[in-house]
Amino acid sequence: MKGFLEMALIHKVDQIIKDEHLLDVEDSIVVAVSGGPDSMALLHILFLLAEANKWRLVVAHVNHQFRGEESDGEAEFVAAYARQLGLPFEMGVINVPDYIKETNMNGQAAARELRYDFLLEVANKYQARRIALAHHADDQAETILMRMIRGTGTLGLTGIPIRRWVKNVELIRPLLRIYKSEVLQHCEQQGLSFCMDSSNTHNKYVRNQIRNELIPLLKQYNPQLPEALNRLADVIGLEDDYLKQEVDAAYQKLVVEATNGIRLPRSGFALLHPALQRRLIKLILSYLAPNASSFDFLTTEKVRYAITQDTPTTLSLSLGANIIFTREYEQMYFRLTSTVSSGYQFSLESGEGKMELPDGMLLSYFVSVSNAADRSQPKLSRSHETAYFDLDLVNFPLEVRSRQDGDRMEIHGLNGSKKVKDIFIDAKLPLRLRNQVPLIVDAAKRVLWIPGFRRSVHAIASSTTTQLLCMELHRTK
């Protein structure tokens, strides 16, 4: 009976590996071993299965330097066990306190990031395609409960994934369907020694509080709470897979990718179920900022509301992670701030020349003598890209610049002035293009001309004009 019990967990893990296709024959595997019961059991089981599967195992240990001599003792313990098994051993020593100062991350997050960086380095050194981690079913229950407390959606309720790709290396968790009690039983039956992390008993961190206080309390109401939470993760996981397929299809159908960001039509988005709308927004954001932490529900909902509401028809939102969302009537844009046009300003003196402007525009200007035909009637170009001014009425130096807050223009043919912003709105000029349009402004801060749109009442050539300032905007893109 004892022999059967000793092998029961090994067979169970072997079956999980096969069912989930976690490992292939002749794989090279980095096994992350802290020295605790979970990782020691994982290493022991993989070692027993390695010969039949021709696996090559590498033992990797991280010394976080959190607990002084205790941490050093764990490193020596794991190194000794690796030597006993005849396996290569790699140790990384990380300085978590300094990294916390550099990044302002909390202790656990900083340690996790440095730990994974080291494990990926080891995998690269040994050309290993997979890293085996010792998370088990009780860890899964804690994670789900912690996310429920903090607030999460269906994706969060799927818990820890049994497999995940990071930089061309797959993180696998062969014990994720195994409970802590089974792990401890295996260690006892196999005579496996292990280290106990004293910090696990301290309730400094939320996870420890959940493990040591909350779960024991909730078990009074449901003794099978960990099992119930794991079943929840399994159910939600399958439904999440289905929704991922649906949102991927919506992405392919609706989203237009460009070098400067992503465009999304409002009409197609509005037809989606709200659940898919939220997921599509999150998918777009993760595409633009893959290394950013997850965008929260409020951010996603703010964008969804901005798209689905009838008004306002134009707006811009900063979403964090250097992403700007812009609604321009029936088109939505998600862009990184590095691709959003910024303002510009150049000075222009009287004379002749050409001025290169941002976004592939060229402004040419020259002075000509006004002939009799010119003087017979006011000189107004029929082209919005060309303008003529009475040189004697132009107040130099001129500014060629992008719009500024408060800009107004006294438009030829209209009484009074109008905001430049309203001129662009009336023309339905997309918000993303408004900073690109040049304004010709004189020394008195009067807007003389907006190429492609309007010209002002100032400096119009007439029958008394003797010299013309001619200006023309060329678009090279």
pLDDT at position 372 is: 46
Binding-site sequence positions for ATP: 34-39
Q: Which residues are annotated as a binding site?
A: 34-39
Lowest mean pLDDT among 207-211, 407-411, 430-434: 430-434
Residues 265 and 309 both lie in one domain: yes
Of 270, 303, 336, the domain-final residue: 336
Last residue of some domain: 202, 237, 271?
Answer: 202
Note the pLDDT tens digit of each residue in 324-339: 898 888 999 998 876 5
Q: What is the mean pLDDT of residues 118-122?
A: 96
Q: What is the pLDDT of residues 14-42, one digit of tens each?
A: 999 999 999 999 999 999 999 999 999 99
Centroid of chain to Cα 93 = 29
CATH of residue 127? 3.40.50.620
Q: Is residue 422 part of a domain?
A: yes
Looking at residue 277, which CATH number applies to its domain? Answer: 3.30.465.60
CA dist 273 to 145, 213, 247, 302, 327, Å? 28, 40, 10, 16, 20
Are 75 and 174 part of one and the same domain? Answer: yes
For the whole model, what pTM was predicted? 0.69
In this prediction, residue 416 has a pLDDT band, given cuts at 50, 70 and 90, of confident
pLDDT at residue 7 is higher than 70: no
Identify whether 233 is part of a domain.
Answer: no
**Residue-wise pLDDT tens digits, 222-261:** 999 999 999 999 999 999 999 999 999 999 999 998 766 8
Name the 3-class secondary structure at 413: coil
In-domain check, residue 266 = yes
Same domain? 290 vs 403: no
Partners of 325 in the beta sheet? 317, 334
Considering the domain architecture, whether residues 299 and 326 belong to the same structural domain is answered as yes
Q: What is the rounded average pLDDT of the residues 104-125? A: 87
Closest CA to 343 of 301, 302, 297, 404: 404
As a whole-number percent, the residues of the chain with pLDDT over 90 amount to: 62
The answer to whether residues 373 and 410 belong to one domain is yes
The answer to whether position 87 is within a domain reads: yes
Structure token digits, residue 429: 């000029």
Confidence of residue 432 (pLDDT cuts 50, 70, 90): confident
Query: Both 390 and 419 in a single domain?
Result: yes
Concatenating the DSSP letter of every residue in 163-190 gives EEEETTEEEE-TTTTS-HHHHHHHHHHH
Residue identified by tokens 């003529």 is 388
Question: Cβ distance 388 to 379 under 8 Å?
Answer: yes
Q: Tokens standing for 192?
A: 């496996």
| One domain, residues 462 and 353 | yes
Query: Do 351 and 312 share a structural domain?
Result: no
Q: Kindly state whether residues 175 and 307 are assigned to the same domain.
A: no
190 CB-side CA count, 13 A: 22
Domain for residue 384, yes or no? yes
Indicate whether 332 belongs to any domain: yes
* Distance in angstroms (rounded) separating the CA atoms of residues 111 and 63: 10
Burial (CB count within 10 angstroms: exposed 0-12, middle 13-18, buried 19+), residue 266? middle
Residue 1 pLDDT = 38
Q: 81 with 190, same domain? A: yes
Closest CA to 295 of 142, 141, 155: 155
Residue 4 has pLDDT above 60, yes or no: no
Give mean pLDDT, residues 207-224.
95
Q: Is the model's pLDDT at 469 over the cut of 50? A: yes
Shared domain check, 268 and 165 = no
Q: State yes or no: pLDDT of 462 exceeds 80.
A: yes
Q: What is the pLDDT of residues 56-107, one digit of tens each?
A: 999 999 987 766 688 889 999 999 999 999 999 999 988 877 888 887 777 7
- Whether 142 is in a domain gets the answer yes
Does residue 248 fall inside a structural domain? Answer: no
Based on the fold, state whether residues 331 and 442 are members of the same structural domain.
no
Domain of residue 380, CATH code = 3.50.40.10
Domain assignment of residue 466, given as a range: 345-475
Considering only the C-alpha atoms of the chain, give the largest distance between any 2 of them, rounded to a whole number of Å: 116
| Number of structural domains the chain divides into | 3
* Domain end point (choices 309, 336, 363): 336
pLDDT at 453 over 80: yes
The values of phi and psi at residue 124, to 5°, are -65, -40
Distance between CA atoms of residues 472 and 365, nearest Å: 6
